[in-house]
Structure formats: structure tokens, C-alpha cells
A and B are shown apart, each in its own frame.
Chain A
């Protein structure tokens, strides 16, 4: 059984318009692959196809496998693929701690739940922030909580949709490093989509999509 995210011959079209043609992609656990391209080049559709929320109007062909299991037809919540968007999208009606607990699988019970959340807060350098309103966090703090929320759900892969775009340049390098470090440590196959050269993971493969 081969681990990681393997895509073979993936094509995505909207009506007659072909967005992605015959894409092959293999992302090993712990590897970060970057996909670059201008807007309209099909980056979002690629993420939607892998994440499982692509609109029915699109036609998708080819094969996507995660840890050897085919993804086609599996609903998003059963794929176990974490996603980070440009905005941290912390749920505004929950506390920071509740946001993290929301992600934790129900099978983890009792005191272990609290320990896992405490550990995540510590990793985000936000110990003692569990009862805080997410709206009171800074941009960098929100980004770190968003990543740790995703990791707590024990994903098998990670999708990054220009997650550093909204951060100012100084914060950006630090958050990028933080995300990459955690993704590698968790041994996750990671797909980063961006239109910014700076974001390309050092040493990782780069794929350019035409316009």
C-alpha cells in the first residue's frame, strides 16, 4: 500500500472549458508540493475536487487516492483532509477552546480531551487562552489556532489555499514556517496553492498551472 496523496490523470472541466488537463501528482507523507498559477487557472477547482466540495456543474475525471483509498464519491467529512483558507475562519460563536474541541474526534473522551486541547494551545504559544473570544486574537494568533484546529482532527492530508495571503510580510514568514514545520512533523502530504513565489516551500516540488 502506498501512502500519501496520489493523483493520476485528473481533468476538471466546466462545460466546454477545460480547467485542469491530465494532471499527475504524487505527494508523499511529510512532503509539501506547491501549485502555482494565476487566478482562473483552476487552482480552486483542484482543491475543491480533492477536498470533495466541487459543485455538481463541474465534470471531474481521473483518479485521486489518499493512502491508497480512492476519494471519488466519498463525502468531504469522511475524507479526513484538512483545509486552511486565506482567512482563519475560527467559528465566531465558540471560544478558542471550543473551536479546538470542535475538531477533536468524539472517540477521544474525558480528561484526555482537555489535555489534547491544552497541548494544542501550548503549541500555538497561547496557553490559558481557552476561554477567550476568537475575535480578540491577533491575526497571527488566529492563524496558529486555525492550523492547530485542523491538526487536532487527525487529518491524513492537508490543503493550503493561499493561507498566508492576508498576513503582513513580517508575520507571514513566521506563520509559513510554523505551518510547514507542523505539517512535516505530523507527516502529512501537503498541497499548497498560491500565486506568490515567496510561499513556495523551500526544496519542495513546484507545479505551474497555465492560465
Chain B
């Protein structure tokens, strides 16, 4: 099968399903089975793409996405007839067609390790969320139609390599989410839904401004990319990113502005500290499966936007902002953990834990220790950080979806989420307790479970960047342990006769929980299973960012300022310690 078909199918199948479902007869079981079938098919397609990516004689994983996208060019055959030709390279998992030639907008899809890992996560969480939606009994057709539309747009976001196309999928996501919260949510659903919508729209407005500034910027006229003169006016992410990381076309000031815009936009989605307030509302009001999607996938779109757009498109801007962003990440970690500790609503607690965990993603991305002590480019530690951020996104996708699911399970039975009323559930529901323990410990970052790997990577990288931040981030683990253990105590431990007789998890619920539990453990023990194919893409991105001439310019300017202010502080044992630790 050609790339054209299989990559397009990844979003066309759920979209088609979402339309077809409206034509099905009014039979709830049929509708649910159909939606599940479409989700499973989508997951299957994602796995197939994964097979193409890592397998075969000449897998695409070997060459950088940038090279593959550049090889797959569009040439206008003749100016008069206007017929377009695509130089197609089969088997490279890149699709390119003209869409709106007037503005140089293309239908450009492609996958690399970063997007593929998130595509797989999306497919998996969607299947599980679809199973978790079995209890929906209000306007079933509408629900599953919107659900599949949401799936289609999420897939599209991770596939798109054209900024315009990315933005289209990004925005299309809002509407199904709005209705899924506003119609099937809890008591205060309308408020939560409109808050989600407005926050995200404001964020996307900033993103669009950033993209447009990149598109229209007229910089150094002599800049060339791959032997061709570069004059912006392109929405091709890979092309613009290459210009940003190999030329000085985008100067430091414009990159600083663009990075600020993209950062703010994606931090809303992530969400990070000042823009996070929509999250607890949306989570608390959303139905369980939608909470799973929201925490498991939608938040990752913020992180994916950072790693795919913000950093590669404005590396010098990112470097100039890195101290602030890293501090913001650490603050989010601590703030989220403290806020989680203060909650009495189980679901709200989990929501704030997401804010805390996403802080690690921000920190991992922002800890840009790009230069060795002798001033040479040495992005090893930064690669740890970005790998850690990516791993955190995957791990959090698994554990947070699991946690929201567990909250949903108990809410279905006890009809309360008040932590003060819960308790003693282990005696009543032992299987539920065991599953909960694994997933909550995974989220806490217990060694051997998935969260640990990510936290270690991020903190290691942060250590090389700024010791104070690293120490705070590492100490925040105590806070995390605090609220998680306290939650476990308040929900499962102790004695509470009030809940006697609650049924344990049924078969459907076990089917949903099992993959999450397995992945929590496997990802904790064999991180290489994912990193082996995902981290080459991360490292390419890191290398590009580190080698950008503009980043070097920022560094030189910083050092000049530092030299004026006096000699730098004596390097002490901390750095050696970190380096030794990282070498192991």
C-alpha cells in the first residue's frame, strides 16, 4: 500500500466512520460496536504504519523526516496550465500534494519516531475510551460520531507537516470536544466546555500569529536551504525548520517573538501554570472516556506542538527563553502537586496531577544545556531532557488515562468522588485496588514503572542546565509521592462499612485496565522498547536545534554579558556528579 493511502487513511477512516455512524439505524449496540470497530481499525492502521517505519529492508526510521520530506517535492509543471507534479518517493511515509497553491499550502503528512509514538498512544487510548463509553446511553449516535471526529482530528494533528494543515486539524478538534463535554458532561458542563473552548481558541490565535510571522518574515536574502534560495512564504514545517536551524534567515529577535507566541499557545493546551485553569473544570465535568482522551491524548498535543513547532522553528528564541520556560516548568510541577494535595474531589486531584506531570515535559524541553564546559556544542544532556519529555508524555498518557478510568469506575458505583467519603475500598474491591496501586505508583514515578524513567531523564538533563531547578524538580517528587500515597490511603486503605457490597470491576472494565497496567510495567522495565526507535528522531531534532547558528549567536552574546559582569562561579563537584551519573 502506498504511503499516500495509509497515512491518509489514518484520519480518513475515523472521519468516514463519524459520518457513516449518523446513517446507522437507531440501535445502541450496533452504533457502539461500529465505533469500536472503527477505533480498532484505526489502531491497526497505526500499528501497520509502525511496522513500515521500523521494519523492512530500508525502513524510513533510518533517514531523517526532514530529508524524506524534502525529497518528496512538488514542482509546478508549467505556469500556464498550472498542472502540479509531485516527485513521490514510495515507502518513505511522507505524502505531499498541493492543496491551496495560491498560498503555497500543501497537504503534507509524514511520520517519524516522535509522531509515531503519539499516534500509537492515540490509537490505543481511543480504543480503550471507546470501550469505556459503553455506559453512555444519551444520544448515542451523536456521541460516537463526535468521538470519531475527535479521533480523526487528533490523528491529523500528529500526521500533519504543513503548518496550515496542522492548524486546521488543531481547530477541528475543538468542536467535538466542546460538545462532548457540554452535552454528556456533569452538572456544570456548559461552563467547563465554553471555558475549554475559549482558552484553546485564544491559544490557537497566538499560534496562528506565530505561524504567519514565520511565513511572512523577510530576512537575509542570501539564505539558502538545500541549494535553493529561501524566502519564507512556506507552511512546510520541515522546510522552515531547516531554514531556522541551518541559516540566519530568522534572526534572534524574530525567533524570540515567534517562540513566545508558539509557547503561549501550546502551554494553554499542555497546560502549564498560568494557563491551566481550564483543565480541572474540563476534567471534572467531562464524562470518564472523554477525560481519558483529554488527559491521555489532548494534553500531548500541546507537548507535541512544542517539540514539533516551537523548538525546531525558533531554536534561538527557545534558547533565549529557556531559563524562564524551565522555571515555569518547575513551578508547574510544584504548583500542580501542591494543588493536587489540597483537593477533596478525586477527579480534580487527578487533573492537578496532570498539571504537575506536564511540568516535567516543559522542563525537559526547556533544559537546553547545549554547550559543554569548553564552549563546544554538546547536546547529549539536552537529548536526555527531550527524550524524557517525550517519554513523560507517553507514560502520562497511559497512567493518567488509567487514573481517570479508575475514578470513573468508582464514580459509577459509589456516585461520589469526594475523597473524604471514599475509603476502605481494597477490602471491597481487591482487583480494583491492585490495578489502582500499579497505575498510581506508575504515575508517582516508582522505579520499575513508567513514570520513573521519564522523571530521571528530565531531572538529569535539568541538572546540567541549572542545578537549583533540578534540585527543586527532584524534591517535588516527594510532593508527588505525598499526594499519591495520601490518595491511596484515603481511597483504598482503612475500613469503611459504607461501601460494603460494591461489585468489583467487571470484565469490560478489566479489558480496559489490562493494557494500561501492562504498559505501565513494561514501559518501566524496557524503556528501550520505545526509545530505540523514537529517540533517533528526538536526537535529530536536538542536534538541529543545537547546531543552529542563531543559537550560537545567543550563547556568544550571553557569554559576553557574563564576561563583563565578572568571572563565572567556580565549577564544583555537582557537575562531575551529574556527568558521572549520566554516564552510567
Please determine whether chains A and B interact with each other in the same assembly: no
